[in-house]
Amino acid sequence: MSTREKLRAMEALWDDLTRDPESVPVPDWHREELEIRSARAEADGDAFSEWEAAKRRLRESSR
């Protein structure tokens, strides 16, 4: 398979998997890492934004 064909196959697989995200198992280490990062961000006082708001701010700051 060419690189382009491989990418198309991966996109098709990803599209299929995301139709039912509950069917995709999440390893325990993923959950643990998310908890660690969340706790670290909270302890550091990091602020988070919704993705659309962040994109809007980035676009406005580049003008």
* pLDDT tens digit sequence for 49-61: 889 999 999 999 9
Asked if pLDDT for residue 46 goes beyond 80, the answer is no
DSSP for 31-45, written as a single string: HHHHHHHHHHHHHHT
What is the 8-class DSSP label of residue 27? -
Mean pLDDT of 11-15: 96
Structurally, the chain folds into a number of domains equal to: 1
The pLDDT assigned to 62 comes to 83
Say what the pTM is: 0.47
Structure confidence by residue, pLDDT tens digits, 16-34: 999 998 999 999 999 999 9
CA distance 24 to 18: 8
Both tokens of residue 33?
A: 């890492």
Q: What is the gyration radius of the CA atoms in the chain, in angstroms?
A: 18
Residue-number span of the structural domain to which 44 is assigned: 3-61
